[in-house]
Structure 1
Amino acid sequence: MFTFQWVWFAVLLPLPYLINRFWKVKRNQANQINPPHLRLITIQRAQQAFQQGTITPLSKSYRGQCVALWLIWIGLVFAVMQPQWIEQQTVIKQEGYDLMLAVDLSGSMDNADFFLPTGERVNRLQAVKSVLTPFIEKRIGDRIGLILFANHAYLQAPLTLDNLAVINMLERAEIGIAGRDTAIGDAIGLAVKKLRERPEKSRILILLTDGDNNAGVLQPEQAATLAKQYGIHIYTIGVGSQENTGNSGFNAQSLQNIADTTQGRYYPASDLHALNKVYIDIDSYLQRSTAESRVYIQRTPLYHYPLIIAMLALLSLPLLQRRTD
C-alpha cells in the first residue's frame, strides 16, 4: 500500500503560484505609485542582448524553464511528504508465557552452605545464580522480568524478550543492596502489578527466598490472594542447606500456602542438586500458551525518487537558459 507519512505538506504545492499571483498585484500597485524611470541602453548592451537570444513567455525556453521549476518544487514537496510503501501486515503469534522472577537479597542469603560440582563452597545467592542463569537462557520466546527484594521490593528488569539483559542484571545483584530483612509480601504485590496486564493463563511468578516475611507493608497471604484474583500462578522455592534444615530460616508452611492459593507449587531446595531439579520440574510442568500477538509493518521509504526528479530538473535549468528559439 502506497501512502505518505506527512500528507499535510501537500498544502505547499500551490505556494509558488500564489506568490507569483499576488506578488504581481503588489508590484503593479507599487509601479503605479512610483512610475519607473526611463533608462537608455547602450549599443553594447543591445548587441549583447541580441547575441544571447531572447526569451519570451511564448518561447520554448521559457516554457521549459517553467516546467523545470515546477518539477523542482513538486519533487521537493513530495520528498518532504515522505512517500513510503507499506508491505502487507504480518501477524505473528508467539507461544510462551510471562515469567517474573523474584529473588531474595536479604542478609541470610550470604550463608555459604551450598557446594558447586567442583567442590567449591558458595553462598545461597551464588547457588541460585548458577542454576537460574541456564534456566533463563532456555526461555526462548518467553518474556522474563526480575524483581529483587529485601527490606523493599524493586523491579530490576521489566518483562522482556532479552534474556541476556536479565541474566546480566541478575549477575550484578548483590546481597544487602535492598536491605537485610525479607519483604515477601511486597515482592509478590509488585509482581502482581507488573503481570496483571499480561494475557491470561501465561502469568507466572517464581519466588526464591530463604527467610520468613519480616518487612514490608503487604502480608504474603494477602498478596497471594491478590495474585489469585488476576490468575497469576506462584511457584515458591525455599532456599536452605540440608545441613541446616532446622535452621534454614524460611517459613515452609507460608510458602506452601502461597503456592496452594495460586495453584502453583512449592519446592524446598536444600542443596544445589535439589535446586537444579526444581527448575527442571518447573520447565517441564508449565504449559505454554499464546502469550502475545505481534504486528510487524515493513515500511520502505520512497522519498529519494521525487528528490532525484527535482535534482535532474535543477541540473537541466542551465541548459534551458542557453537554448534560444
Structure 2
Amino acid sequence: MADASTEIWEWLSFKWFLPGTLQNFDWENPIVFFALIGIPIIFLLRWLINFKFNQKLEVAFPKRQLKWRPISLLRFVPDLLMAISLVLLIISLARPQKTNEKVEQWTEGIDIMLVIDISESMQIEDFKPNRLTAAKNVARDFIKGRFQDRIGIVIFSGDAYSLSPLTTDYDLLFSHIDDISFDMIESRGTAIGSSLAVATNRMRESDSKSKVIILLSDGDNTAGNIDPITAAELAQAYGIKMYTIGIGKEGKVPFGKDFFGRTTYVENTLDETTLRKIAEIGEGNFYRVSDNQALKDVFALIDEYEKAEIKETRFKDTTDFYGIYLRWGIVFFLMWLLLKSSFMSNVLQD
C-alpha cells in the first residue's frame, strides 16, 4: 500500500516538467518534437475558421455598458488546457527514457617482466638527460598503455635484483620506477645472464598463456654467475618470449662534465651479438636504439605486438517515462472536456 502511495506522489511531482529533468532524458523518437510546431498552427486555423464561418449574434449595447472584465480571460482556459494536453501527448510519443549502461571489460592478460640495466654506463648522456632516465620514462609510458596485464620489474648491474613481482597494481610499479637509481646495487658490472635468470624465476610458476621478458641493456655481460645464452635457453624452456633492446651509440659518447665544465667522453661498447642471440632463442626481436625517440618507438612497437584481446560485456537497462506524460495529457484532456461545456466557453462557437 505504501509503495502505491509513493508511486502516486512521485507521479504528481512537479519535477517532471522542469527543464533539467527533460534535458536528462534519452529520447527514442525525437523527430516527434517537430509536431509541436503544428499546435499553434492548429489553433490559428481554428480561430480563422470560426471567425469566418461561425454564426454571429448582433446585440445593441450603449458604449457605456461595454466594459472589459478580467473574468473574460477565463474563456481562454479550455484552449490552454487542450494545448497543454497536446504538448504532453507529443512528449509521450517522443518516448522519454533513461538508460543505465554498464560495461565490463576483461582479458586473459599477459605476464611481462621489464629487465632494466642500472650499471654505471647508463649514466651516459647520449640520451637526454641520460640513458637510465630515458629508460624509466618509456617504461612508465609502456605500463600506462596496458590493461589487466601483470607486470614485474628486475634491475641489474653487477648483480640482479627483483624490484617488483608480477602485479596489476600499476601505481605501485610507477612508485618503484621512480625509486630506481644507480646506487641500488653495490656491485659493478653488467650481469645480463643473472638478470634473465631472476626474471625467469619470477615467471616460472605463471600459468598465463603469454609470458614476455623485455631486456634493456647498454653493455657487455661482465658479471654474474650464469651465461646469458644459458639463461635465455632456460627462459625459452618455460615458454617465455624475449625482446632485447641495445641502448646507446658505439664509440665515444658524452659522460657528464669535468671540473671546468667541459664535456667528457668515454668509449662505449655493446655486445650486440649476445643480445641478438637471446632474442632469437626467445622467438622475439632485437632492437638497437641511439636516442630517446627511437627508444619510445621500440616500446610502442612491442606494445602493439604484445596486445591481449580485450573482451567486453554490455548490460543495458532502459526505463521508460512516457506513461507519466501520457497520464498527465489525459488529465488535461478530461479537464478540457469538462470546461468546454461550462460558462468559460463561447456558446456561439461551441
Query: Normalization by structure 2: what TM-score?
Result: 0.52
- The corresponding residue for 2:119 is 106
Question: Is contact 1:98-1:202 (8 Å) kept?
Answer: yes
Instruction: Tell me the distance in 2 between the aligned counterparts of 1:276 and 1:243.
Output: 23
Would you say 1:280 and 2:300 are equivalent positions? yes
Partner of 2:171: 164
Which runs of structure 2 are paired with 1:98-247 in the superposition (5 Å)?
Answer: 98-115=111-128, 122-178=129-185, 179-241=187-249, 244=252, 247=267
Take 2:284 and 2:145, find their aligned partners in 1: how far apart are those partners? 21
Amino acid at match of 2:176: M
Pairs aligned (count): 194
Question: What's the Cα RMSD here?
Answer: 2.2
What amino acid is aligned across from residue 252 of structure 1 in structure 2? E
Alignment-derived partner of residue 256 in structure 1 = 276
5+ residue gaps in structure 1?
Answer: 1-91, 116-121, 291-325
What's the counterpart of residue 268 of structure 1? 288
Instruction: Judge conservation of contact 1:220–1:258 (CA < 8 Å) in 2.
Output: yes
2:107–2:308 contact (8 Å) kept in structure 1 = no
Q: CA deviation at 1:271?
A: 0.5
Change (3 A) 1:242 1:152: closer
The whole-number CA distance in structure 2 between the counterparts of 1:167 and 1:93 is 22
Other structure's SS at 2:236 match: helix
Task: Give unmatched runs, 5+ long, in structure 2.
Answer: 1-104, 254-265, 311-350
- Measured after TM superposition, the shift of residue 129 of structure 1 is 1.3
Q: Which amino acid aligns with 2:290?
A: S
- Distance in 2 between residues matched to 1:189 and 1:229, nearest whole Å: 12
Question: CA shift at 1:197, angstroms?
Answer: 1.2
Contact 2:190 2:221 in 1 (8 A): yes
C-alpha distance in structure 1 between counterparts of 2:147 and 2:252, whole Å: 36
**Inter-CA distance 161–242: structure 2 relative to 1 (3 Å threshold):** same
CA contact (8 A) 2:193 2:229 kept: yes
Aligned counterparts of 1:243 and 1:162: Cα–Cα separation in 2: 40
Q: Is the 8 A contact 1:129 1:170 kept in 2?
A: yes
Q: Which has the larger radius of gyration?
A: 2
Native 8 Å contact 2:109 2:208 kept in 1: no
- Per-residue deviation, residues 192-217 of structure 1 (Å, max 9, x unmatched): 11112112531110101111111011
Distance in 1 between residues matched to 2:303 and 2:291, nearest whole Å: 19
Secondary structure of residue in 2 paired with 1:155? strand
Q: Tell me: CA distance 1:253–1:160, structure 2 relative to 1, closer, same or farther (3 Å).
A: same
Once residues 206 and 134 of structure 1 are traced to their aligned partners in structure 2, the CA distance between those partners, rounded to angstroms, is 14
Once the two structures are superposed, what CA deviation does each residue of 1:200-242 show, in whole Å capped at 9, x if it has no partner?
Answer: 5311101011111110111100000101111101110111047
Q: Structure 1 residues 138, 225: CA separation in 2 closer, same or farther (over 3 Å shift)? A: same
- Find the aligned partners of 1:112 and 1:190 in 2 and give their Cα distance: 28
Q: Deviations over 1:20-63 (max 9, x none)?
A: xxxxxxxxxxxxxxxxxxxxxxxxxxxxxxxxxxxxxxxxxxxx
For the 8 Å contact 1:96–1:141, the answer to whether it is kept is yes
2-structure distance, mates of 1:242, 1:271:
12
Match of 1:96 among 77, 95, 109: 109
CA contact (8 A) 2:148 2:168 kept: yes
3-state secondary structure, aligned to 1:283: helix
Specify the code of the residue in structure 1 equivalent to 2:269. Answer: G
Distance 1:93 1:273, change over 3 A: closer
Q: Output the CA distance in 1 between the equivalents of 2:152 and 2:162.
A: 8
**Distance in 2 of aligned mates of 1:289 and 1:223:** 30
Per the normalisation by structure 1, the TM-score is 0.56
Structure 1: 4+ residue segments shifted above 3 A: 241-248
1:99–1:144 CA contact under 8 A, matched in 2: yes
Map of 1:18-37 to 2, 5 A cutoff? none
Q: Would the alpha carbon gap of residues 247 and 288 (structure 1) be closer, same or farther in structure 2, given more than 3 Å must change?
A: farther
Q: Given that residues 126 and 290 in structure 2 are in contact (C-alpha distance below 8 angstroms), is that contact kept between their aligned partners in structure 1?
A: no
What's the % identity of the aligned pairs?
A: 39
